[in-house]
Amino acid sequence: MPLLHYLDQGQGQPLVILHGLFGTLDNWQTLARRWATEAGLRVISVDLRNHGRSFHSPEHTYALMAQDVLALFDYLQLGAETTLMGHSMGGKVAMRFALDYPERLARLIVLDIAPRFSNMEHQDEILAGLQSVNLATITNRQEADAALAQHIHSVGVRQFLLKNLYRQEDNSFAWRINLPVLAAQLAAIGEETISATPFLKPALFIRGGKSDYITAEDKMTGIPALFPNSQVATVVDAGHWVHAEKPEEIFGMVKAFVGA
């Protein structure tokens, strides 16, 4: 199995960061740099399989993605003092890892996702937009943006997605994400996180106050059932992209929880 692409910066207690669906480690770079320089942490940002500069695979399950992260932990010789943090899909990878390999972690941080099944229908427009970009004919990023705009009205979401577009050596455009596989596996990406044994170490769930990815019911029953030593914190004026919308708050919450 190839190793995941990652960026390792800073020295100190390790913090491993996993991005969400259609994301890359670049989404976290400003905060990662701050945790490394201002909080004294060793920050390892990761591209998950079928994303960023990591390998493409026809399989995209949480069990396999957790194994990918385990292989990276082994390669980097990360000890049990490590904190694992993930957003959205990356949060589900982090939960799966914590439940499967609890001895490898000191604590868990999950941003705006719950263990329950997530309906992925809201991603249909994003997939339609990505699939509408004709990579064979576009000559610049503006043309790609215009195609996306037919399906996705949010400029911010389009800019986020266009981070995946790059020029190949022959000057043609390509996606860094493995779009066909992610489209085919979309239902699996929403699957419920289950485990016979809970993760007993500290866990922090951070939800956006304007997001419905973590509900009151999740907070009362779903999260504590698997993560009994957990707390749920709300960033009031943030949506699902809580770290992008409220970076200052996320910087402080993570720093405090890790004890940096």
Strand 42-46, strand 230-235: pairing? unpaired
120 pLDDT tier (thresholds 50, 70, 90): confident
| C-alpha span between 9 and 32 (Å, rounded) | 8
The yes-or-no verdict on residue 258 having pLDDT over 80 is yes
The confidence score (pLDDT) of residue 203 equals 98
For residue 110, what are the β-bridge partners? Answer: 86, 205
What is the structure's pLDDT at 179? 98
Q: What is the DSSP string of 114-144?
A: -SS----GGGHHHHHHHHHS-TTT--SHHHH
DSSP of 164-208, one letter per residue?
Answer: TEEE-TTS-EEESS-HHHHHHTHHHHTPPP--SS---S-EEEEEE
pLDDT at 161: 96
Q: Under a CB-based contact definition with an 8 Å cutoff, are residues 201 and 107 in contact?
A: yes
Q: How confident is the model at residue 108 (pLDDT cuts 50, 70, 90)?
A: very high
- Span 164-189, average pLDDT: 96
Identify the bridge partners of residue 253 per DSSP, sorted by sequence position.
none
The mean pLDDT value for 60-85 works out to: 98
Give me the percent of the chain exceeding a pLDDT of 90.
97
The predicted structure's pLDDT at residue 232: 98
Q: How confident is the model at residue 153 (pLDDT cuts 50, 70, 90)?
A: very high
Task: Tell whether the model's pLDDT for residue 1 goes beyond 80.
Answer: no
Q: What is the mean pLDDT of residues 214-221?
A: 96
Single out the residue of 42, 41, 83, 88 nearest to residue 65, CA to CA.
88
Average pLDDT, whole number, for the chain?
97
Q: How far apart are CA 112 and CA 217, in angstroms?
A: 14
Q: Catalytic positions, please? A: 88, 240
